[in-house]
Amino acid sequence: MSDRLLLESIARLVPTGARVLDLGCGDGALLAHLRQHHGCSGYGVEIDDAKVQLCLRRGINVLQLNLEDGLAMFEDDSFDLVLQIDTLQHLRNTEVMLRETARVGRAAIVAFPNFAHWPNRLRVLQGRMPVTKRLPYQWYDTPNIRVGTYTDFEVLAQRLGLHVSDCFGLHEGRELRWAPNWRASTAVFKLLKG
pLDDT category of residue 68 using cuts at 50, 70 and 90: very high
Number of domains composing the chain:
1
Strand pairing class (162-171; 105-113)? unpaired
User: What percent of the chain is modeled with pLDDT above 70?
Assistant: 98
Side-chain-side CA neighbours of 16 within 13 Å: the count stands at 1
Query: How large is the average pLDDT for residues 8-29?
Result: 96
Q: Is 77 helix (H, G, I), strand (E, B) or coil?
A: coil
Give the range of the structural domain holding residue 81, as residue numbers without chain letter: 1-192
How far apart are the C-alpha atoms of 113 and 123, rounded to whole Å? 15
CATH of the domain at 86: 3.40.50.150
Taking the mean position of all CA atoms in its chain, how far away is CA 161? 19
Position 1 scores a pLDDT of 38
pLDDT (tens digit, 9 = 90+) per residue, 122-142?
A: 998 999 888 888 888 888 888
Prediction pTM value: 0.93
